[in-house]
Structure 1
Amino acid sequence: MQFDWSQLGPLLAIIHLLGIAAACHAILNTRTSQGAIAWAVSLATMPYLTLIPYLFLGRSKFAGYADARRLRNATLRSRARAPEWDELLSTGEWPVEELGARVIQTMAQLGGMPIVPGNSVRTLVNGEATFSAIFEAIEQAHHYVVVQFFIVHADTLGEMLKDTLIQCVARGVRAFFLYDSIGCFDLPASYVNALRAGGVVVHPFSTRRHFVNRFQLNFRNHRKIVVVDGERAFVGGHNVGVEYLGAKPPLSPWRDTHIEVRGPAVANIQFAFTEDWYWVTQELPDCEPPPVAPCDDNMFCLVMPTGPADRQETCSLIFVEAINAARQRLWITTPYLVLDEAVFSALRLAVLRGVDVRIMIPGRRDHYVVFEASTLYAFDAIRAGIRIFRYQPGFLHQKVLLIDDVAAVVGSANLDNRSFRLNFEIMVLTVHRGFAAEVETMLLRDFEQAVEIDRTEYRDARAWRKMTMHLARLFAPIL
């Protein structure tokens, strides 16, 4: 059958019209001016190459989820005594002297949750400690378990998690399992079916409930949450796979950090899970957290769930506020360093006011484009006076921030645009000198195994490598 070339002109005209329409959509809806310009120019001039990528990657707002979130937040605020915030501040019952009333209030408003006292938090360094604690807690569950991960592999560790949850259900414990549909793209149906056959309630987190989100690869649920009986919660950087146990060269040994939280803050962590579950199922999970007695450690914890459904760029603003709060020291570890202008400006200002700003990044790469872009951002940071370290033994995946001697943030958010604007994340701010000292000790061990880099590494790089870095940085809005 011979192609009718007379149809080519109308087809090209239609593609260009669609490109112009998509460019207008990008201008109206893309959050940053840089992203809007990049999409608009490419869609208007090269629609043949960019229309399909824009369909999958172009949106920066997660339609529909925000309404569900606001609906459910009212319940949490009434339960968590948020209206008493100003009164408690004025009576000095909150850690206003440690971090500052303004910082705490701003972060609480950004995260949509109150800071609560009476908690106990401990670090879980690397995969063996993390999953040993998680499996132990699940095996001791009496009422319910909720589990949420971005990535779950059907390998040895994944099978252990599946068997542990099925055994829970067998002894009368309710189990709820939520996984990201894109992060777990290679999770076999047999794995999910086995969980369901064992009585575990399983759902994928997907964007497809609203048509405008149907084709999106963005808006991934990057949170890692485990809650047991409303008494213990686990949050951090680990997913479920043997690589997180350091059993997958060449990235091993894998360096990551989780935390175990006990106390009233567990209910707020579980609420973040409830938001996601409600989006997927339009039902609340049958696992209302019970009242929890305060712990003797009496740590103040602020749970901060963030995501593209937020009215503001919550994750980026939280990092900015945390950086601005530092007076003597700001130590950050992140696997990916793709800074937006607001966060980079805050880091530069911290250096200018005399803060010891250090950022630790991996010495090995797991994603080539992100690694090259991160390398260029690292050299920009060095020129601004920020000290950059590369972790040497294996791949560094932990997401930790230490503020002076008083506060630490641990969670799932990376220092990149994907966490700032495109992923659902969760972080926990702990205001407690004892816990800050524990995090300091942990990070000092990491810095001892890291190498500080300087400007010569970039200056001595070959021309093709410099070009690769600059090309990679062009993709920063979706990295």
Structure 2
Amino acid sequence: MWTSILFGIYILITLSIVIAILLYGARPSKSLAWLLAIFAIPVGGIILYLLLGRNRRKNKLVQLKRNLFKRLPKPDQNQVGAFEGKYKRLMTLFYNNSHFPPIGNNKLQLLKDGKTTFDVIFNALEQAQREIHIQYYIFEEGELANALLLLFERKVLEGVKVRMIYDGIGSFSLSKVYLKKLVALGVEVYPFLPFKFGRFFSSLNYRNHRKIIVVDGHTAFTGGINISDKYLKGEPGVGKWHDMHLKIDGPAASHLNQVFMMDWYLVCQELLEPLEHVDSVYKLKEDSLVQIVSGGPDDDFSALEQTYFSIINTAKKYVYITNPYIIPSQALLKALQTAALSGVDVRLLVSENGDNRLVSWSVHSYFESFLKSGIKIYLFPDGFLHSKIIVSDDAISSIGTANLDDRSFEQNYEVNAIVYEKEFAELLKSDFLKDSGSGHLLTYDEYVERPWTKKLKEGIGKIFSPLF
């Protein structure tokens, strides 16, 4: 009897999930993958879907964000008509997605790897006079975290307001002892969707992957680097982590601050007031513009996927991409192939060493499709390359937190800085050529002759790639 009842409940749950997938599935390929998982793996497929597959664009976070937008000043729609230059359409797209216009008069500093980046970050934090906003996906205890604790103690005593957001899953190892120390110092700290058994299925999959620091509303940092000693000491079995970060001094920093303020509202429902008002008159010089693009699962459109797609499609001469997780959607795959086949120099720089075997298999499973179309793939051999960079035509660049995978596009909260500046693009291009020059250029013949065991692993990875 009990067996029949349990089986009946299982059938009802399965049917309800299948109907939900058919009604709210984000993409056909992903929906099909989930349907196959549910029917091929009884019970386990349902658990995986509840953990990783549900579309929550209409949940509480969406309503909170919409309430926030109602309270914030409305963007001036007339600014869109003022966009100029060959990237006018891209500027308009990014503006319509994220509501941040391109803005000039910024001083930019490209930061590479942990020591350089953290030296500059700590120096900027020491200069804070009014407020520090800090937000990270991974915040791990160690030398860096302890140094920040001491710095926060000094700044709070000086009267500086310190606010901090950490992701509840990415920073799961962050101890209660450390958090209590922060609170005791006077730091306002909140987790983003913390791990709780009571809402395990609703909190696991949607993460805040952003890395943002804003000092006094006018100096900001973003990029791929997290607060972790592995950027200084390395990680067993992987080696030293290599990454890129960007320091922004100027009006664009206030836009990153608004992204932080939106996330602050999501975690504690407090609406912060900006320290200073950004002038509504924007000097749109093609060589000095920065535009912030933020995206998350509660947006109407996949802002970061459209950002990458548009930059690739706009490229005339070259597009160079550094990213550890290139698991493209069909749209991005076609965009990359089309660009390469039409004569654009398309190059990918990927870490030879991965931090997750299944994800690495999935990344490598797309290599044949890339190589067939003439895309050059360079494998970076030293440690783990974690940068998220795109540079094209010595004119436009993107640096930020978003990977080229479905998780960044559909499930994570991400943020990128788009830079319309020749000198900055040339700097990133030079760095790409230097790193790719020390890597291994993968050829098509070499790839197709790989052992069958690797082919099998990559086949497994590709099957699961729509679920990442």
**For this structure pair, what is the TM-score category when the shorter chain's length is used for normalisation?**
over 0.9
> Following TM superposition, by how much is the alpha carbon of 1:161 offset from its aligned partner in structure 2, in angstroms?
1.7
User: Residues 243-322 of structure 1 correspond to what in structure 2 (within 5 A)?
Assistant: 243-285=230-272, 288-291=275-278, 299-322=288-311
CA distance in 1, matches of 2:31, 2:417: 32
Are 1:16 and 2:11 an aligned pair?
Answer: yes
Match of 2:89?
A: 102
Match of 1:228?
A: 215
Secondary structure of the corresponding residue to residue 397 of structure 2: strand
Matched letter for residue 20 of structure 2: H
Are 1:469 and 2:453 an aligned pair?
Answer: no
> Following TM superposition, by how much is the alpha carbon of 1:213 offset from its aligned partner in structure 2, in angstroms?
8.2
CA distance in 2, matches of 1:405, 1:431: 9
Preserved contact between residue 287 and residue 422 of structure 2 (Cα < 8 Å) = no
Match of 2:117?
A: 130
Preserved contact between residue 167 and residue 194 of structure 2 (Cα < 8 Å) = no
> Following TM superposition, by how much is the alpha carbon of 1:247 offset from its aligned partner in structure 2, in angstroms?
3.1
Preserved contact between residue 195 and residue 204 of structure 2 (Cα < 8 Å) = no
Preserved contact between residue 379 and residue 454 of structure 1 (Cα < 8 Å) = no
> Following TM superposition, by how much is the alpha carbon of 1:44 offset from its aligned partner in structure 2, in angstroms?
4.5
Name which of 366, 372, 377 aligns with 1:383.
Answer: 372
CA distance in 2, matches of 1:359, 1:229: 37
Preserved contact between residue 123 and residue 258 of structure 1 (Cα < 8 Å) = yes
Are 1:66 and 2:62 an aligned pair?
Answer: yes
The superposition leaves residues 43-75 of structure 1 with CA deviations (integer Å, 9 ceiling, x where unpaired) of: 356442222222211213342323333343466
Preserved contact between residue 286 and residue 421 of structure 2 (Cα < 8 Å) = no
Identity of aligned residues (%): 29
Are 1:444 and 2:433 an aligned pair?
Answer: yes
CA distance in 1, matches of 2:322, 2:122: 26
Instruction: Please report the RMSD computed on the Cα atoms of aligned residues, expressed in angstroms.
Output: 2.3
User: Residues 326-345 of structure 1 correspond to what in structure 2 (within 5 A)?
Assistant: 326-345=315-334
> Following TM superposition, by how much is the alpha carbon of 1:298 offset from its aligned partner in structure 2, in angstroms?
6.9
CA distance in 2, matches of 1:354, 1:199: 57
Are 1:426 and 2:415 an aligned pair?
Answer: yes
Q: Decide whether aligned partners of structure 1 residues 443 and 45 sit closer, same or farther in structure 2, where only a CA change above 3 A counts.
A: closer
Name which of 239, 242, 263 aligns with 2:229.
Answer: 242
Match of 2:76?
A: 82
> Following TM superposition, by how much is the alpha carbon of 1:246 offset from its aligned partner in structure 2, in angstroms?
4.2
The superposition leaves residues 310-344 of structure 1 with CA deviations (integer Å, 9 ceiling, x where unpaired) of: 10122211111111111101000001111100111
> Following TM superposition, by how much is the alpha carbon of 1:207 offset from its aligned partner in structure 2, in angstroms?
7.0
Q: Decide whether aligned partners of structure 1 residues 467 and 87 sit closer, same or farther in structure 2, where only a CA change above 3 A counts.
A: closer
CA distance in 2, matches of 1:290, 1:301: 17
Q: After alignment, is 285-294 or 344-353 more displaced?
A: 285-294
Preserved contact between residue 315 and residue 392 of structure 2 (Cα < 8 Å) = yes
Per the normalisation by structure 1, the TM-score is 0.91
Matched letter for residue 64 of structure 2: A
Matched letter for residue 9 of structure 2: I
> Following TM superposition, by how much is the alpha carbon of 1:449 offset from its aligned partner in structure 2, in angstroms?
1.4
CA distance in 2, matches of 1:355, 1:161: 44
Name which of 23, 27, 33 aligns with 2:22.
Answer: 27
Matched letter for residue 337 of structure 1: I
Are 1:359 and 2:351 an aligned pair?
Answer: no
> Following TM superposition, by how much is the alpha carbon of 1:137 offset from its aligned partner in structure 2, in angstroms?
0.7
Q: After alignment, is 105-114 or 138-147 more displaced?
A: 105-114
> Following TM superposition, by how much is the alpha carbon of 1:157 offset from its aligned partner in structure 2, in angstroms?
1.3
Q: Decide whether aligned partners of structure 1 residues 407 and 246 sit closer, same or farther in structure 2, where only a CA change above 3 A counts.
A: farther
Match of 1:3?
A: none
The superposition leaves residues 455-475 of structure 1 with CA deviations (integer Å, 9 ceiling, x where unpaired) of: 233322222221111111111
Name which of 314, 319, 337 aligns with 1:348.
Answer: 337
The superposition leaves residues 279-323 of structure 1 with CA deviations (integer Å, 9 ceiling, x where unpaired) of: 111112365345589999972011000111110122211111111
Preserved contact between residue 53 and residue 467 of structure 2 (Cα < 8 Å) = no
CA distance in 2, matches of 1:320, 1:472: 23
Q: Which residues of structure 2 form unaligned runs of 5+?
A: none
> Following TM superposition, by how much is the alpha carbon of 1:214 offset from its aligned partner in structure 2, in angstroms?
5.2
Preserved contact between residue 157 and residue 242 of structure 1 (Cα < 8 Å) = yes
Q: Decide whether aligned partners of structure 1 residues 290 and 133 sit closer, same or farther in structure 2, where only a CA change above 3 A counts.
A: farther
CA distance in 2, matches of 1:125, 1:75: 38
Q: Which residues of structure 1 form unaligned runs of 5+?
A: 1-5
Q: Decide whether aligned partners of structure 1 residues 327 and 160 sit closer, same or farther in structure 2, where only a CA change above 3 A counts.
A: same
Preserved contact between residue 117 and residue 299 of structure 1 (Cα < 8 Å) = yes
Preserved contact between residue 110 and residue 318 of structure 1 (Cα < 8 Å) = no
User: Residues 141-152 of structure 1 correspond to what in structure 2 (within 5 A)?
Assistant: 141-152=128-139
The superposition leaves residues 230-250 of structure 1 with CA deviations (integer Å, 9 ceiling, x where unpaired) of: 110000000011112243343
CA distance in 2, matches of 1:342, 1:76: 34
Q: Decide whether aligned partners of structure 1 residues 421 and 297 sit closer, same or farther in structure 2, where only a CA change above 3 A counts.
A: closer
CA distance in 1, matches of 2:195, 2:267: 9
> Following TM superposition, by how much is the alpha carbon of 1:77 offset from its aligned partner in structure 2, in angstroms?
5.5
Q: Decide whether aligned partners of structure 1 residues 129 and 45 sit closer, same or farther in structure 2, where only a CA change above 3 A counts.
A: closer
Q: Decide whether aligned partners of structure 1 residues 437 and 82 sit closer, same or farther in structure 2, where only a CA change above 3 A counts.
A: farther
Q: After alignment, is 319-328 or 280-289 more displaced?
A: 280-289
> Following TM superposition, by how much is the alpha carbon of 1:86 offset from its aligned partner in structure 2, in angstroms?
3.8
The superposition leaves residues 374-430 of structure 1 with CA deviations (integer Å, 9 ceiling, x where unpaired) of: 011122211121111101122100000001111110000111111111111000001
